Amino acid sequence: MDKLLIEGGIPLVGRVPVSGAKNAALPLLMATIVAPGEHRLANLPELADVESMLSLLGRIGCPSLLGPIVRVDTSRVAWCEAPYDLVRKMRASVLALGPLLARCGEAHVSLPGGCAIGVRPIDQHLRGLEALGCTFRMEGGYVHGKVSKLKGAEIYLDMPTVTGTENILMAAVLAEGHTLISNAAAEPEVEELGAFLNSLGAKIEGAGTATIRIEGVTSLAPPPRPWHILPDRIEAGTYLVAAAITGGDITCENARAKDLVAVLAVLERAGCTVERGEDYIRVSRTGPVHPVNITTAPHPGFPTDMQAQLMALLSLTGGDSQIRETIFENRFMHVAELLRLGAHIDVNGNLATVHGVPEMRGATVMATDLRASASLVLAGLAAKGRTEILRIYHLDRGYEHLAEKLRAVGANVKRAEEGRPG
């Protein structure tokens, strides 16, 4: 396993090209299943999770060809199963459920199981698909679904689940009649999925809002031109926090400020200067970092996927910041590691009180999940001295060419094999 070695304390200055959005790439790859033919996707990020999704497509009989434009051929679907060995590595494989039911009338998907940040149930996915006429049984750690004919329905989600909304959407597009999804997730990645499905011939209104209306169609087909995936707002936000935490000045290229309204507002309150361009976002900081209170919420609220990164930044203020995590029940795994770097944080249930400290100092820390790892990288970039981050395979799931992008803005960072001197 690899580790990351960082010599911190250097203000990062320069430009970072933002890659395609992981959390759009994953549902869009699954959506190709509902439209038989050769699909072409541009700006797909080179990430472990995307590789996992492409191998899942291969396993069901849909080969792909990598390159600047990734080609996926879903003319034939030979198997309707997402096996445990793949799903356990990437719970987003649960997104195979809706498309396989819509394409084949059956689906056998391993239950994702929990992960570091929570139990991650899929009850809302199943309830929505049942409303469309699907039936499910659990056996051997798998959910086995089948449907003879998908019929439109009115569906209310108990909470705006992102992949739950996406699973239901990918089935409803081929259901007979109209479907209404209320309390739907409104994330930009859901909007992107809706736009992609419409490019296949679907009839969706309101994707990206809390109310989505779908008029079912009988068939879908790949669009004539390659689909260009939107930029990753969480990757962009992470690099913008890197500018803030090191007292630097970073411009994220191909970034959309409208996708990061809450994050940019918090960065401004924390003392940063934010410039919102047409297709870039620039963040710099020269003065002190100010304390800010944050409560995570579904989009357009403050994104849970940026909570750990902001906690690293708010560890370096002159006061106390309250961070309340309302989306996942165990998303403070980064706290124990930040304490090793000299942070002072108290956790009480889903509330973390961050007592600012004047500086952090390098140490060896352990990555536990994707965004917690990003938080440790950010803290390491600000800490005085050397930080070693172990188990950085977590980072490879969501950050394309991380070390290269950080070196390009002046960071002293390199990868090494664990167990070998850096």
Q: So which residues are the catalytic ones? A: 115
Which one, of 374, 389, 376, lies nearest residue 343 by Cα?
Answer: 376
- Which of 6, 26, 236, 366 binds ligand EPZ (CB under 6 A)? It is 26
302 vs 294: CA distance, rounded Å: 7
Q: Which of 9, 10, 19, 23 binds ligand EPZ (CB under 6 A)?
A: 23
User: Binding to ligand EPZ by residue 371, rule CB under 6 A?
Assistant: yes
Partner residues linked to 10 by β-bridges: none
User: Is residue 299 classed exposed, middle or buried when 0-12, 13-18 and 19+ CB atoms within 10 A define those classes?
Assistant: buried
Q: Which is nearer to ligand EPZ, 166 or 388 (CB)?
A: 166
Q: How far apart are the first and last CA of the chain?
A: 13
**Distance of closest approach, residue 221 Cβ to ligand EPZ, in angstroms:** 26
Strand 211-215 and strand 249-253: the pairing is unpaired
6: left (phi over 0), alpha (psi -120 to 50) or beta: beta
DSSP H or E run through 128:
helix 123-131
CA gap 339, 346 in Å, rounded: 10
Q: How far is the CB of 318 from ligand EPZ (least distance, A)?
A: 30
Q: Would you list the DSSP string of 214-234?
A: EE--S-----SS-EEPPB-HH
The nearer residue to ligand EPZ, 112 or 380, going by C-beta atoms, is 112
Name residues contacting ligand EPZ, limited to 134-173 (CB under 6 A): 159, 161-164
Residue 375 beta carbon to ligand EPZ: minimum distance, rounded to whole angstroms: 12
- Under the binding rule (CB under 6 A), the answer on residue 309 touching ligand EPZ is no
Judged by CB, which is closer to ligand EPZ: 64, or 304? 304
Contact between 236 and ligand EPZ per CB under 6 A: no
Q: Which stretch binds ligand EPZ (CB under 6 A): 120-128, 252-260, 336-344, 401-409?
A: 120-128
Encoded tokens for 166: 């996406």
Number of residues that bind ligand EPZ (CB under 6 A): 23
Write the binding mask 391 to 410 for ligand EPZ: x where contact by CB under 6 A, - elsewhere: -------x------------
Contact residues for ligand EPZ, defined by CB under 6 A: 23, 26, 92, 118, 120-125, 159, 161-164, 185, 304-305, 327-328, 370-371, 398
